[in-house]
Amino acid sequence: MCGIIGFLGNGEAVPVLLDGLRRLEYRGYDSAGIAVLNQEGIVRRRAAGKIANLEAMLTSNGVAGKAGVGHTRWATHGAPTRRNAHPHMTGRVAVVHNGIIENYRTLRDDMRAGGRRFESETDTEVVAHLFDALLEAEGTPAAAMTALMERLEGMFALAILIEGDDVVLAGARRGAPLAVGWGEGGLFLASDAIALAGHTRKVSYLEEDDLALVRRDGVEILGTGGHPVKRPVVDTELSGAVIGKGNYRHFMEKEIHEQPVAVGETLGRYLDPDAGSITIPGASLGPGAVERMTLIACGTAYYAALIGKYWLERLARLPADADIASEFRYRQAPMVEGGLGVFISQSGETADTLAAMRYARGLGRTVLAVTNTETSTVAREADLVLATHAGPEIGVAATKTFTSQVAVLFCLAVATARDRGTIDHHEVARLAGVLTTLPSTLARVIAMEEEFRQIAWDVAEARHVLYLGRGTSAIVAMEGALKLKEISYIHAEAHAAGEMKHGPIALIDEHVPVIVVAPGDELFDKTMSNVEEARARGGRIILITDEAGAADAGPVADRMVVLPAVDSLVTPLVHAIPVQMIAYHAAMRKGTDVDQPRNLAKSVTVE
Ligand code: M6R
């Protein structure tokens, strides 16, 4: 959600903070602000809207100082105005915050009664006042931070700039990530290592309820109870170049194009093409070990979960459920003995997914994480991590992490099927062969971009769009509808094609493009019957199919794209690309903000 950064160093803080905020902007872009410490005390600059507005303000009204904190906001409490922008200041402190302070009303009422005055509608300002008061009462930042953690409820990460103490920055983590960066030119606190790319690769990730006290001579990390603890310093392998846009206009465009490499890198961890084998290291998946799998995630990752469910049922004949994380624990879903929870999250920090995972652990179930962030909370708390190796994904719309998740889930389904004896080693070797050629097929599909762009320009004129498919193609259709809504703001719905006649067909008229995802598989003819029904009611049909489908389709479609043929099992990976590109080019045509669509944030660390 929000991005936070703190810096204490030898050089000027503002360029470092701004650079970090630009890298964190994917986490939220409702407002931005910085506070720096200099001879005058703490000086603050804030602006509503994107970081560019803050930069413009700093150009005309700059501030100097060698320590500071910065924030880019995704609004939770209070409108995205300058008044509600972080940092929030009072007395000797300036606070930036990611997450939610759940008991802020009670704390604010108590402090108001004690004479403190609040300027904003945020929960964060309560932290500033409370910490300032505790600093007075306790005398040291360490004691004040410990007392602060006892008083705050919720999930949050904090970075606090302190005037008049050798502890210049204090950080805390509870439920939202915070990293300490160890640079040559200074010390850092940041929501994630991406913020520090170009400044340092040496990072320590705080654990739950850790505090970090940053002085000129180093960082002291205190664990629960205020005792000093050591957290490993890891090399993040992130460089400024890795997370730049390169020659692309948008991160989303770049990330769509990176899919052959992302999927190839990911498959490389589970697939041995020479041996014709697919393995999930560390997992026992056979009968007795796993009786059921429950795949849980949010948004795009949930669609990956649904595809995984189809494969687990079909290939491994294993009962499998896919569930939305935000619903799972609140309905107190049972998980049977021998049930394995599979939690899918590119960021590994999604609050709903994390909470659902903790619920499953609370039931005593083994939990497995599929994540693109091996240092994330989801990864750290899982019994086993199946990493995707897609590289950093900055565009808010998930693309390469989706196909990478789907690739891992295919490997999981194949390995489970082998362990359950529902497929033999010949079939595993055949499927390993299918996967081996997949990255090059993805590259061929990406090369068809101009065809997808033409469709997108047509779609961009519509107010409503329908996506249809059957089997795993229905899930690709759902992902296509989500992508279109998310970045082009066009209303889109996806349905399993067979469901149309039970209601959604009433939506169809000549103004509604109907995008049909239908590879030439065993469901093709059934899908085409539903397409005929839509066409008979004036629907404009855009058919995404393959060579076999094109041969069978007849003159049903107003437009058709013909993708390379692949084994019918892996079509979701191939057919995901056109729906991503249609959404991307529709957004381009409409001129919306592709990488930072309105109201959204990349990493959703609040419930
Ligand atoms: O980081 P996660 O995979 O847990 O994120 C889950 C969703 O928030 C995410 O997939 C979201 O739906 C994307 N913006 C979709 O493009």
Nearest by Cα to 48 from 37, 36, 59, 57: 57
- Is residue 600 in a domain? no
Q: How far is CA 135 from CA 37, 58, 86, 468, in A?
A: 17, 30, 20, 59
**Section 424-437 average pLDDT:** 96
Q: What is the pLDDT of residues 298-311, one digit of tens each?
A: 999 999 999 999 99
Domain boundary among the residues 242, 258, 288 is at 242
β-pair type (513-517, 540-546): parallel
How many whole angstroms from 1 Cα to the centroid of ligand 1? Answer: 12
The set of catalytic residues is 2, 602
β-pair type (540-546, 559-563): parallel
Best mutation site among 373, 604, 605, 606 for ligand 1, i.e. most ligand atoms within 8 A of its Cβ?
A: 604
Q: What is the pLDDT of residues 577-600, one digit of tens each?
A: 999 999 999 999 999 999 999 988
User: Residue 322 forms beta bridges with which residues?
Assistant: 295
What's residue 241's pLDDT? 58
What's residue 239's pLDDT? 65
Best mutation site among 1, 252, 300 for ligand 1, i.e. most ligand atoms within 8 A of its Cβ?
A: 300
**Section 387-415 average pLDDT:** 97
Whether residue 299 sits in one domain with residue 271: yes
Q: Which atom of ligand 1 is nearest to the CA of 483?
A: 16
How many whole angstroms from 299 Cα to the centroid of ligand 1? Answer: 5
**Residue length, the chain?**
607
What band does 240 get if pLDDT is binned at 50, 70 and 90?
low
How many whole angstroms from 506 Cα to the centroid of ligand 1? Answer: 30
What's residue 237's pLDDT? 73
Atom 14 (ligand 1) nearest CA: 397
- Is residue 116 in a domain? yes
Best mutation site among 27, 251, 298, 353 for ligand 1, i.e. most ligand atoms within 8 A of its Cβ?
A: 298
Which CATH number do you get for residue 144? 3.60.20.10
Atom 10 (ligand 1) nearest CA: 300
DSSP string, 216-280: TTEEEEE-GGG-B-----EE----TTTTS-TT-SSHHHHHHHTHHHHHHHHHHTTEETTTTEE--
Atom 9 (ligand 1) nearest CA: 299
Q: Which atom of ligand 1 is nearest to the CA of 602?
A: 14
Q: What is the pLDDT of residues 154-212, one digit of tens each?
A: 989 999 999 999 999 999 999 888 999 999 999 999 998 889 988 999 999 999 899 99
Q: Which atom of ligand 1 is nearest to the CA of 398?
A: 16
CB 451 within 8 Å of CB 557: no
- 3-class DSSP state of 369: strand
Q: What is the pLDDT of residues 504-542, one digit of tens each?
A: 999 999 999 999 999 999 999 999 999 999 999 999 999
- Is residue 602 in a domain? no
Whether residue 457 sits in one domain with residue 589: yes
Domain boundary among the residues 184, 209, 242 is at 242
Whether residue 141 sits in one domain with residue 92: yes
Q: Which atom of ligand 1 is nearest to the CA of 397?
A: 16
**Section 314-321 average pLDDT:** 97
Atom 4 (ligand 1) nearest CA: 345
What's residue 178's pLDDT? 95
How many whole angstroms from 289 Cα to the centroid of ligand 1? Answer: 30
Neighbour-count burial of 304, counting CB atoms closer than 10 A to its CB (0-12 exposed, 13-18 middle, 19+ buried): buried
Q: Which atom of ligand 1 is nearest to the CA of 405?
A: 3
Task: Please give the tally of structural domains in the chain.
Answer: 3
Q: Which atom of ligand 1 is nearest to the CA of 378?
A: 4
How many whole angstroms from 403 Cα to the centroid of ligand 1? Answer: 13
- Is residue 159 in a domain? yes
In sequence order, which residues have a C-beta less than 8 Å from that of residue 514 and are 6 or more positions away?
Answer: 465, 466, 467, 468, 508, 531, 534, 539, 540, 541, 542
How many whole angstroms from 595 Cα to the centroid of ligand 1? Answer: 13
- Is residue 327 in a domain? yes
- 3-class DSSP state of 323: strand
Average pLDDT, the chain: 95
Whether residue 465 sits in one domain with residue 418: no
How many whole angstroms from 28 Cα to the centroid of ligand 1? Answer: 14
Atom 12 (ligand 1) nearest CA: 299
- Is residue 605 in a domain? no
Whether residue 531 sits in one domain with residue 402: no
Best mutation site among 346, 400, 594, 595 for ligand 1, i.e. most ligand atoms within 8 A of its Cβ?
A: 346
Atom 5 (ligand 1) nearest CA: 345
| Helix 259-268 × helix 425-446 angle, to 10° | 160
What's residue 605's pLDDT? 78
Whether residue 75 sits in one domain with residue 174: yes
Residues whose beta carbon lies within 6 Å of some atom of ligand 1 = 298-301, 345-347, 350, 353, 396-398, 486, 603-604
Nearest by Cα to 338 from 287, 373, 291: 291
Whether residue 262 sits in one domain with residue 407: yes
Best mutation site among 345, 349, 403, 607 for ligand 1, i.e. most ligand atoms within 8 A of its Cβ?
A: 345
CA distance 56 to 62: 9
417 alpha carbon, distance to own chain's centre: 29
Domain boundary among the residues 242, 257, 273 is at 242
Atom 11 (ligand 1) nearest CA: 299
How many whole angstroms from 604 Cα to the centroid of ligand 1? Answer: 8
- Is residue 607 in a domain? no
Which CATH number do you get for residue 369? 3.40.50.10490
> Does the pLDDT value for residue 265 go beyond 80?
yes
Q: What percent of the chain is predicted at pLDDT more than 70?
A: 99
How many whole angstroms from 601 Cα to the centroid of ligand 1? Answer: 9
CA distance 126 to 347: 28
Enclosing domain of residue 458 = 448-595
What band does 479 get if pLDDT is binned at 50, 70 and 90?
very high
What's residue 175's pLDDT? 83
Atom 7 (ligand 1) nearest CA: 299
Whether residue 460 sits in one domain with residue 418: no
Atom 1 (ligand 1) nearest CA: 347
Whether residue 495 sits in one domain with residue 427: no
**Section 351-358 average pLDDT:** 96
Whether residue 332 sits in one domain with residue 350: yes
- Is residue 67 in a domain? yes
Output the six-digit token pair for 198: 């170009």
Enumerate helices (H) and strands (E) in the chain, giving the number of each: 18, 26
In sequence order, which residues have a C-beta less than 8 Å from that of residue 535 and are 6 or more positions away?
Answer: 541, 556
What's residue 242's pLDDT? 63
- 3-class DSSP state of 35: strand
Top mean-pLDDT range of 15-19, 75-79, 551-555? 15-19
Whether residue 299 sits in one domain with residue 442: yes
Whether residue 513 sits in one domain with residue 402: no
CB 21 within 8 Å of CB 43: no
Q: What is the pLDDT of residues 22-41, one digit of tens each?
A: 989 888 899 999 999 999 99
- What is residue 58's DSSP assignment? H
Torsion region of 599: left, alpha or beta (phi above 0 gives left; psi -120 to 50 gives alpha) = left
